[in-house]
């Protein structure tokens, strides 16, 4: 082997080892108890060689667990169901997707195969079809209140923002707003993926959420942490810095 090729082979070997190490060090699934029967679960994908977290959630009812969005990491579909069964002795009975991107919808087909009912808005369903993403089995056309066993929660479409179809969910019993990717964590320094965003409407959409659900105890973002409960206001600040082109 020529010296230049030896150097190239060594470089490729180092790069491959570094990539393997990053994958091995990437967390798979974490579950955080927020309050009462409400939990946030987080899965990860490597972006630019670094693990990037995606938050989803579930709530426990006396009829089973209800999921909000699905794991982003496709290897964690069954481990999540197993974890919920092991921790709470409950099966997942329903899942609602909050917009069409695959960090929200990747597991919908898997859940359907397991006999779990899956829902999204009609707009999300249509966008999933258009962009060839997994689709929910059922849809709703307006803001909807779900009652599953002893738990009630509601969906709310406040307008376009991160995507044209993003919805949020409100849990009155815990005073929790599950904002998905419409809300940015205070740990975020930018708006993240805005390829499908409506930057012009997003501020008004956030204001609609603030008016509708005043002072939530927790506002759960789609990515990164939620300990600082100023995600809605932080999102507005980020939008002010990022003017529509």
pLDDT value, residue 245: 54
Q: Is the pLDDT of residue 14 over 80?
A: no
pTM of the predicted protein model: 0.89
Q: Is the pLDDT of residue 163 over 50?
A: yes
Domains and CATH numbers, the chain: 26-241 (3.60.15.10)
Tokens standing for residue 170: 């409100």
What mean pLDDT do residues 218-239 have?
97
Task: For the chain, report the end-to-end CA distance as a whole number of angstroms.
Answer: 53
pLDDT value, residue 160: 98
CA distances from 168 to 91, 143, 158 (A): 24, 10, 8
DSSP H or E segment with residue 176? strand 176-180
Q: Is the pLDDT of residue 1 over 70?
A: no
Cβ atoms 107, 70 nearer than 8 A: yes
Three-state DSSP class for residue 23: helix
Q: Is the pLDDT of residue 167 over 90?
A: yes
Residue 93 exposed, middle or buried by CB count within 10 Å (0-12, 13-18, 19+): middle
What mean pLDDT do residues 118-146 have?
98
* pLDDT band (50, 70, 90) for residue 243: low
* Positions marked active-site: 99, 101, 103, 162, 193
d(CA 182, CA 178): 10
Cβ atoms 22, 31 nearer than 8 A: no
Cα–Cα nearest to 221, from 181, 171, 164: 181
Cα–Cα nearest to 57, from 84, 86, 27: 84
What mean pLDDT do residues 90-117 have?
98
The least confident of 44-48, 125-129, 207-211, 221-225 is: 44-48
Q: What is the mean pLDDT of the chain?
A: 91
Q: Is the pLDDT of residue 4 over 80?
A: no
For strands 64-68 and 92-96, give the pairing. parallel
- For the chain, state the CA radius of gyration: 19
């Amino acid at each position: 082997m020529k010296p230049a090729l030896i150097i190239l082979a060594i470089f490729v070997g180092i790069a491959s080892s570094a990539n393997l190490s990053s994958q091995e060090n990437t967390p798979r699934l974490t579950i955080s108890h927020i309050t009462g029967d409400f939990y946030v679960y987080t899965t990860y994908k490597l972006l630019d060689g670094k693990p990037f977290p995606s938050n989803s959630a579930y709530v426990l009812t006396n009829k089973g667990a209800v999921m909000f969005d699905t794991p982003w990491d496709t290897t964690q579909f069954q481990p999540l169901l197993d974890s919920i069964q092991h921790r709470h002795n409950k099966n997942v009975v329903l899942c609602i997707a909050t917009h069409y991107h695959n960090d929200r919808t990747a597991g919908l087909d898997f859940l359907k195969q397991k006999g779990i009912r899956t829902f999204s808005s009609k707009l999300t369903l249509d966008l999933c079809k258009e962009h060839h993403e997994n689709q929910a089995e059922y849809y709703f056309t307006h803001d909807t209140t779900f009652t599953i066993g002893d738990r009630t929660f509601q969906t709310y479409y406040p307008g376009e923002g991160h995507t044209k179809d993003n919805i949020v969910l409100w849990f009155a019993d815990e005073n929790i707003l599950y904002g998905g990717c419409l809300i940015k964590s205070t740990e975020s320094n930018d708006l993240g993926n805005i390829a499908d965003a409506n930057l012009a409407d997003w501020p008004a959409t956030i204001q609609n959420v603030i008016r509708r659900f005043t002072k939530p105890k927790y506002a759960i973002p789609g990515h990164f942490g939620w300990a600082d409960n100023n995600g809605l206001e932080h999102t507005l600040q980020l939008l002010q810095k990022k003017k529509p082109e």
